Amino acid sequence: MSYLAAAPEFLARAATDLTDIGSQLTAANVAATTPITAMAPAAADEISAAISSLFAGHGRAFQALSGQAAAFQAQFAQALSGAGASYAAAEAANASSLQTVEQDVLAAINAPTNLLLGRPLIGNGANGTATNPNGGAGGLLFGNGGNGYSQSGTGYTVWAGLPGKGGRAAVRVPQR
Q: 2 lies in a domain?
A: no
Whether the CB-CB separation of 137 and 149 falls below 8 Å is answered with: no
Whichever domain contains 93, its CATH number is 1.10.287.850
* 3 state DSSP class of 12: helix
Q: What is the per-residue pLDDT across 86-111, written as a single tens digit (0 to 9) for each?
A: 888 888 888 777 778 888 888 888 88
Q: Are residues 98 and 70 in the same domain?
A: yes
Q: 71 lies in a domain?
A: yes
Whether the CB-CB separation of 63 and 29 falls below 8 Å is answered with: yes
Whether the CB-CB separation of 146 and 128 falls below 8 Å is answered with: yes
**Residues for the chain: how many in total?**
176
Q: What is the pTM of this model?
A: 0.50
CA dist., res. 132 & res. 157, Å (int): 18
Q: Are residues 85 and 48 in the same domain?
A: yes
Q: Are residues 30 and 78 in the same domain?
A: yes
Strands 156-160 and 169-173: antiparallel
Whether the CB-CB separation of 77 and 32 falls below 8 Å is answered with: no
Q: Is the pLDDT of residue 164 over 80?
A: no
Q: How many domains does the chain have?
A: 2
Q: What is the reported pLDDT for 61?
A: 93
